[in-house]
Structure 1
Amino acid sequence: MSAAPLPRRVRIGYALGSVATGSFGTVPGLLLLPYLTDTLGIAAALAGLIVLLPKALDVLLNPVAGRISDRHVSPLGPRRPFLLRGGLALAACFAVLFAAPAFDSKVAGASWVLLAFVGCATAYAFFQVPYIAMPAEITGDYTERTRLMSWRVAFLTLAILISGGASPAIRDAIGGRDGYRAMGLTVAALLVLGTVGAYYGTRRAPIGPAQETTGTLRDQLRVVAQAADFRWLLSTLMLQALAIGSMLAGIDYLARYVLGDPGAASIGFVCVVGPALLVSPLWLAFGNKFGKKTGYAAASAVLGLGAIALTAANHLPAWCVYAATGIVGIGFTGAQVFPLAMLPDVAAVDAARSGVRRAGVFTGIWTAGETLGLALGPGVYALVLAAGGYVSSTDQAAVQPGSAVTAIVLGLSVVPAVLIAISFFTLSRYRLTPEEVLEAR
């Protein structure tokens, strides 16, 4: 493969795919649980299960999608056809997801959402996996691949900020089921934009050979069992993904039942995600000076501090709650930056020790683990709501008992704080030193 710089239109075209991944990765975790409990009237525990199962399905679908795209032969390249098919199918299923008719039966409403979300998860697997695999086939140049990723991260951050901030605002501006339908169509349009942009934007990109899938799922799990540093790093990531998933699921409930302002959901989400645009370089500088593991621990501490501050949310003015979510956002940014920077170190050291290149295996399991953690988060939050006696309703918000309001706060503060505290133990077991990494490279 040529090491010549990629045209800017290819970089932008590829990065546009993150509009789709960022939007779908954000909005269901933020609004699907409230849609089920407060519009369709589904009990909190069952709603949490509906949110969890299709996303957990991705863990099984990702290797299948990878193998199929690896073996696909097309003049368009092995990956691009899947972008268009998977992305457009995802957009259609997403529009259907939030457009449930007013069924007389709650079972029918729950079934509608479950089937539509399974469709979303399936389509997303066949978009996401080929999309992530493309950079290795577009260019073999290390520096050019880094540039490509920097464009992708920039578009991803903006997509998360726009979709997560605008979705509650659109829903609340229209209200009721129509608000959710309009929001669903708007996000579906973003998914189409990301899909079409990535498909046509990469049409002139170099096409390299597809990378073979390494082993079966059992083989991949065996690799994880043998790589202790990867296992502890992945465990830390999953615990914190679970914590973040629970916090994001609680933002809408916090806005409506604690702050008394549905519009506060957009502000709260922006406070969580917005700092990424400002503090990412600061966390990188901190890590360069003190080391990645120390930086990850510091970011986790800030994240935990923000969660602890939210325990008093029902006794604080709104601006204090926003400040606490801003602290969460600062910690969350670092907790995203450092593990992604540590993963290549683990893969490089493993390759040096084993003599086998298994970066793709590590990346696949890493993505599956993060997906599972984020999927479990809303499910855990739903269980906390159920334990607090949360009252589900149809179309109009129900009056909640004091125990439910307490559960709303505990689910996005104490529960994540405990998970983050446990993650310090798993992170402490990570033993790779900078010297080992430099020697491996």
Structure 2
Amino acid sequence: MLERENAAFGVPPAAPLRARTKLLFGMGSLAEGAQTVAFGSYLLIFYNQVMGVPAGIVSAALMASLVIDAISNPILGHVSDNLRSRWGRRHPFMYAAALPTALCFWLMFNPPQGWSNDALFWYILAVATLGRIAINLYELPSAALTPELSEDYDERTSLMTWRYFFGYVGGLGIATLLFFVLLRPTPQYPVGQLNPEGYHQLGIIGAVVTFAAILICAVGTQARGRMVPQPPARERQSFGQHFREMLGTLNHRGFQALLAFGVLKFSAAGLYASMAVYLGTYVWQLSPRSMGLLAFDGVIAALIALFLAPRAARRFGKRAVAVVAAALGVSLGLMPLFLRQLGLFLPIEPEGPLVATLFAFATIFGTFSATSQIMTSAMIADVVEDSMVRTGRHAAGTFFAANAFMKTCTSGFGVLGAGLLLSLSGFPEKAIPGQIAPEVIDRLVWLYMPTIAILWAIAIVFLSFYRIDRARHEENVRRVRESAVVEDLSARAGEPTRLPPTVLPSS
């Protein structure tokens, strides 16, 4: 009876999700993971070291696309919150995103030949901007399905765990293809990481993967999506009214704490990802095969987090787990470089012990980083009901638009930061491993480590302001249900009134 009432009264169905729905929902993150890793980790080295475009130009173009993306995200999220269609409020956007996302992926790694650096700046800006908008046309509505698929505090953590796991798998697949298959050394390109043909092929494969993953998620969640009630019919609003409504929704202290944490955390993650190929190629002087082996730390970390994150959240709460995991992750992630600078780490030869040790540190870092991200994503889902209690509006799309902006920082601020560090250290274009002045390498590493540490430290401070725990979430769900029942009874009696939003202490 309660499940039927929930569907009628505008709150998520109470029935537990089937494992198949969780799996297909999670598989959709293959697209976002593949694009995030490809754009965040390999665009800079492709255009800078392979195409010969100065790092400052590449990072400036990607940063400019991030600004445009930041403006478009809340608009996309707000529109998806209010769309009425027979496919549900989210799925029309998901279907529409598949083809343009795939096309932009291909275009980014297959730029025109013979263009000047200035022309390539505009090319990178245009394709990166369209690519970001296209993936967010899918990512925002699909992520916003999380609180609509389940209202359960722990089940939402499970959903985000599967989503994060497949995001890692998507990124791992890109790295594995590059280093084991595509980036082959040739007489013309003895360093495989600098072979342009591998990146061109990556564009084709990435396009196919993103297209398929988006459709798998959309089709796999379509039936459940139809069960979610349509948003209420509303009078036409001006742009100013929509804008004020979005600002009112985002004026939520708990969400703002998550937003600040996410922007800083994902910027640090983006810097880590952008610099990983540089560090592996020029600092540790690893072969493409060893670089490929190191990429597997991500899937092992995601597998561990798949089991660790839900259990830790049930026992200690989401915020506590997110804070501790973030602090441990950044400390251990920087340890190999710190020890190297002190002369206490393994030498670059022989390569085997070095790779094994780097792999162990990267796996531990990845596990804690993944666990922290899973927690904060699930915490955003819990903000939805807390906001509904205050405003009376279901705004999952708007909130997850900001979550998508956080992820965009991975390939935006992260790449910008990497470009700045390379420029400040005096790192040359088209450099040959082993032939760079040691002081340049040391300068790069000493700039990189404190930048990462400071970003994470400030992020953790912001996260401490989040206040929604299990008890508060369950109380919010109860209030939303009660409000929905009264609204429905009033509507049946011909009374247009509704319960005013409940004012709670700032979260």
Length-normalised TM-score, structure 1: 0.84
Please point out which of 242, 248, 253 is paired with 2:278.
253
Q: Return the letter of the residue paired with 1:120.
A: G
Please point out which of 73, 78, 82 is paired with 2:93.
82
Q: Return the letter of the residue paired with 2:461.
A: F
Please point out which of 378, 389, 393 is paired with 2:426.
389
Which residue is equivalent to 1:183?
Answer: 202
Distance 1:327 1:203 in 2: 36
Which residue is equivalent to 1:322?
Answer: 359
Distance 2:21 2:312 in 1: 32
Q: CA RMSD in A?
A: 3.5
Following superposition, which runs of at least 4 residues in structure 1 exceed 6 angstroms of deviation?
A: 2-9, 212-215
Deviation of 1:43 after TM superposition, in Å, equals 1.4
Q: Return the letter of the residue paired with 1:300.
A: A
Q: Return the letter of the residue paired with 1:364.
A: A
Which residue is equivalent to 2:301?
Answer: 275
Distance 1:125 1:438 in 2: 30
Which residue is equivalent to 1:415?
Answer: 451
Which residue is equivalent to 1:233?
Answer: 258
Secondary structure (helix, strand or coil) at the match of 1:173 reads coil
Please point out which of 449, 457, 461 is paired with 1:425.
461
Q: Return the letter of the residue paired with 1:422.
A: I
Please tell me whether the aligned partners of residues 22 and 159 of structure 2 are also in contact (alpha carbons under 8 angstroms).
Answer: yes
> What whole-Å deviation, never above 9, does each CA across 1:367-422 have from its counterpart, x for those lacking one?
3344336521121121011100111139x779433343234434553211121122
Distance 2:121 2:340 in 1: 31
Length-normalised TM-score, structure 2: 0.74
Distance 2:17 2:472 in 1: 33
Distance 2:75 2:136 in 1: 9
Which has the higher mean CA deviation after the structures are superposed, 30-39 or 321-330? 321-330
Q: Counterparts of 1:213-224 in structure 2 under 5 Å?
A: 216-224=242-250
Which residue is equivalent to 2:328?
Answer: 302
> What whole-Å deviation, never above 9, does each CA across 1:227-259 have from its counterpart, x for those lacking one?
333322322222111111110111100111012
Please point out which of 296, 318, 337 is paired with 1:292.
318
Aligned residues, how many? 437
User: Could you say if the C-alpha distance between residues 142 and 427 of structure 1 is closer, same or farther in structure 2, counting changes exceeding 3 Å?
Assistant: closer
Is 2:90 aligned against 1:53? no
User: Could you say if the C-alpha distance between residues 397 and 180 of structure 1 is closer, same or farther in structure 2, counting changes exceeding 3 Å?
Assistant: farther
Secondary structure (helix, strand or coil) at the match of 2:183 reads helix
Which residue is equivalent to 2:483?
Answer: none
Which has the higher mean CA deviation after the structures are superposed, 20-29 or 342-351? 342-351
Please tell me whether the aligned partners of residues 34 and 210 of structure 2 are also in contact (alpha carbons under 8 angstroms).
Answer: yes
> What whole-Å deviation, never above 9, does each CA across 1:191-228 have from its counterpart, x for those lacking one?
12213323444565552454479963444334444x33
Q: Return the letter of the residue paired with 2:300.
A: G
Is 2:364 aligned against 1:338? no
User: Could you say if the C-alpha distance between residues 211 and 387 of structure 1 is closer, same or farther in structure 2, counting changes exceeding 3 Å?
Assistant: farther
Distance 1:94 1:12 in 2: 24
Distance 2:339 2:162 in 1: 39
Deviation of 1:151 after TM superposition, in Å, equals 5.0
Which residue is equivalent to 1:99?
Answer: 110
Please point out which of 33, 36, 46 is paired with 2:44.
33
User: Could you say if the C-alpha distance between residues 144 and 198 of structure 1 is closer, same or farther in structure 2, counting changes exceeding 3 Å?
Assistant: farther
Deviation of 1:67 after TM superposition, in Å, equals 4.8
Please tell me whether the aligned partners of residues 164 and 374 of structure 2 are also in contact (alpha carbons under 8 angstroms).
Answer: no
Distance 1:283 1:80 in 2: 28
Q: Counterparts of 1:129-168 in structure 2 under 5 Å?
A: 129-134=140-145, 146=156, 152-168=163-179
Which residue is equivalent to 1:377?
Answer: 414
> What whole-Å deviation, never above 9, does each CA across 1:151-210 have from its counterpart, x for those lacking one?
544433432332344334444226421111011111111112213323444565552454
Which residue is equivalent to 2:495?
Answer: none
> What whole-Å deviation, never above 9, does each CA across 1:301-343 have from its counterpart, x for those lacking one?
2122124313344653323333332232122022113223433
Distance 1:70 1:177 in 2: 42
Please tell me whether the aligned partners of residues 33 and 51 of structure 1 are also in contact (alpha carbons under 8 angstroms).
Answer: no
Deviation of 1:286 after TM superposition, in Å, equals 3.5
User: Could you say if the C-alpha distance between residues 410 and 93 of structure 1 is closer, same or farther in structure 2, counting changes exceeding 3 Å?
Assistant: same
Is 2:441 aligned against 1:405? yes
Secondary structure (helix, strand or coil) at the match of 2:44 reads helix
Is 2:253 aligned against 1:244? no
Which residue is equivalent to 2:488?
Answer: none
User: Could you say if the C-alpha distance between residues 111 and 224 of structure 1 is closer, same or farther in structure 2, counting changes exceeding 3 Å?
Assistant: closer
Please tell me whether the aligned partners of residues 307 and 413 of structure 1 are also in contact (alpha carbons under 8 angstroms).
Answer: no
Distance 1:307 1:98 in 2: 29
Secondary structure (helix, strand or coil) at the match of 1:102 reads coil
Please point out which of 172, 175, 181 is paired with 2:183.
172
Distance 1:136 1:440 in 2: 13
Distance 2:133 2:469 in 1: 39
Distance 2:146 2:261 in 1: 27
Q: Percent identity?
A: 23
User: Could you say if the C-alpha distance between residues 140 and 328 of structure 1 is closer, same or farther in structure 2, counting changes exceeding 3 Å?
Assistant: closer
Secondary structure (helix, strand or coil) at the match of 1:261 reads coil
Please tell me whether the aligned partners of residues 31 and 209 of structure 2 are also in contact (alpha carbons under 8 angstroms).
Answer: yes
Is 2:214 aligned against 1:195? yes
Q: Return the letter of the residue paired with 2:329.
A: L
Please tell me whether the aligned partners of residues 271 and 417 of structure 2 are also in contact (alpha carbons under 8 angstroms).
Answer: yes
Secondary structure (helix, strand or coil) at the match of 1:275 reads helix
Which residue is equivalent to 1:311?
Answer: 338
Which residue is equivalent to 1:17?
Answer: 28
> What whole-Å deviation, never above 9, does each CA across 1:141-160 have from its counterpart, x for those lacking one?
75997576665444334323
> What whole-Å deviation, never above 9, does each CA across 1:38-89 have from its counterpart, x for those lacking one?
0111212222112222234222222333455566666555544433332111
Q: Return the letter of the residue paired with 1:229.
A: G
Secondary structure (helix, strand or coil) at the match of 1:216 reads helix
Structure 1 regions of 5+ residues with no counterpart? none
> What whole-Å deviation, never above 9, does each CA across 1:79-121 have from its counterpart, x for those lacking one?
4443333211111121111112331522233333332222212
Secondary structure (helix, strand or coil) at the match of 2:412 reads helix
Which has the higher mean CA deviation after the structures are superposed, 22-31 or 303-312? 303-312
Distance 2:137 2:474 in 1: 36
Q: Return the letter of the residue paired with 2:59.
A: G
Please tell me whether the aligned partners of residues 302 and 330 of structure 1 are also in contact (alpha carbons under 8 angstroms).
Answer: no
Distance 1:262 1:89 in 2: 35
Please tell me whether the aligned partners of residues 330 and 365 of structure 2 are also in contact (alpha carbons under 8 angstroms).
Answer: yes
